[in-house]
A and B are shown apart, each in its own frame.
Chain A
Amino acid sequence: MLHWFNQHFISLKAFYATSSALLPWLITAFSLCFAYGLIAGLFFAPADYQQGDGFRIIYVHVPSAFTAMAIYAVMAVSGILTLVFRMKIAAICMSVSASIGAWFTFLALVTGAIWGKPMWGTWWIWDARLTSVLILLFLYFGFIALQSVIPDQQSRDRAGAIMAIVGVINLPIIHYSVIWWNTLHQGPTLSKLAAPSIAPDMLHPLLAMIAAFLFFYAVILLLRMRNQIVLREIKTQWVKEVMSHAS
């Protein structure tokens, strides 16, 4: 089992080969989910009885928020693999995920604000979810800043791993404390972005969009990981061979 993993995923060279086989499938999956989600969500899903067509931004907002959190989880798991098993591939996955995650978080905040303007009449409300997402963005910034100042590769990987682990232990605590804080300060009554129950016609495109965003992350992740692998292994024979084939 472990041997099989090593042959296909753990060693950088093998991962490079496996990922080039995986990429077309992932791109196809992304295109299908995205096309269905976008068309069904924007044109076929019924308008919300309260929010009208304004609610349709949910098909961007919720998937990006979900993906942003999922990416942090991926980073934390990769962090543990980096720290405990010294896996280079996990370290690469962790460091290239950070900026992707930060962009998704940013997207979630911007779409949240755009949604908030017609719904609440203001661009920003200190709603528990939005606040948590904002703090998630800070955590991403911290991680990226830390990795950008450490010159040595190995130390950069491991320091980043510790930061990712600290962040993931803290995230649920931060999330629940923000909810607590929100109720304490009597937040606005209309604080729920997602309706508690959602019609299947609305739900299916949403799920498709979430899947599409995750596939998109996987595609970008693999592309960036492949770049990193080449950069890190630039002096090895196999990279030289791959490069000579490519040119």
Chain B
Amino acid sequence: MLKSLLTITHQEIVMTLRQAYSWITPLLFFVIVVCLFPLALGPDENTLNKVAPGIIWVGALLAIVMSIGNIFRSDAEEGHLDLLLLSAHPLTLLVLCKLISHWITHCLPLIVISPLLGILLHLNIHEESVLVISLLLGTPVFVLLGAIGSALVVGIRSHGLLLPILIMPLYIPVLIFGTGSMIAASANLPLASDFAMMGALVLISLAFAPLLTSAALRIGANQ
């Protein structure tokens, strides 16, 4: 069983990597959005350093919102979703496999490139490391909650900007604790509480999101 699930995760990653644009475009989007801010706010080092957490986190949030809508789309279009529902594995586990592979292919690149953007916004080494850790903790929540929304809109033909409206309010706690940890880092305050809260958010969403996502997918097959 574990072997089959690993195979499924592996195949998902292979599929995404073969369609390079599907994971490179969110990455480019992230980079460009973050680079727009210095141009809009002016190049002052102190200002940029002060707003850097907000810029990077909102940029990452938007990039993930952009890509998460595709997580079930091709499956629905090709009729593969029907097969997932008939699988010998619980749908919840299949969803989890898909989410893990989505995180690896869509979020990990963002996290890898984020220190580079941190340099552009004049973050120091300590802030950079906190940035990476907070993104590592926060992005799984984005993916888990986003999957619920994505599954809810999967059967709808033209949903346009509906998905961001559905899921962005749910992202607020992660945004608060993610940027909070970076603000604490720049003020040399202890970080444990922010990280603990984000860890708790990961666990809560891990408990609920795959279940609700698979329930939403079954509803989507209804249409």
Contacts and interface: CB of A to CB of B under 8 A. Distances in A.
A137 to B, nearest CB: 9
A139 interface: yes
B21 interface: no
Contact of B173 (A151, A155, A174): A174
Contacts of A142: 165-167, 169
B222 A154 contact: yes
B212 A166 contact: yes
Contact of A159 (B152, B165, B169, B177): B152
Contacts of A5: none
B143 to A, nearest CB: 15
A contact patch SS: helix
B165 A145 contact: yes
Contacts, number: 83
Interface residues of A, number: 30
A146 B176 contact: no
A159 B168 CA distance: 17
B162 A155 contact: no
B154 to A, nearest CB: 10
26 contacts: A139-B169, A142-B165, A142-B169, A145-B166, A146-B162, A149-B159, A149-B162, A150-B155, A152-B223, A158-B215, A159-B216, A159-B219, A162-B216, A163-B152, A163-B166, A170-B169, A170-B170, A170-B173, A173-B173, A174-B173, A177-B177, A178-B176, A180-B176, A180-B197, A184-B180, A184-B183
Instruction: Please name the 9 residue pairs, one residue from A and one from B, whose CB atoms are nearest each other, closest first.
Output: A177-B173, A138-B169, A142-B166, A181-B176, A158-B219, A177-B176, A155-B222, A173-B173, A159-B152
Interface of A: 83, 135, 138-139, 141-142, 145-146, 149-152, 154-155, 158-159, 162-163, 165-167, 169-170, 173-174, 177-178, 180-181, 184
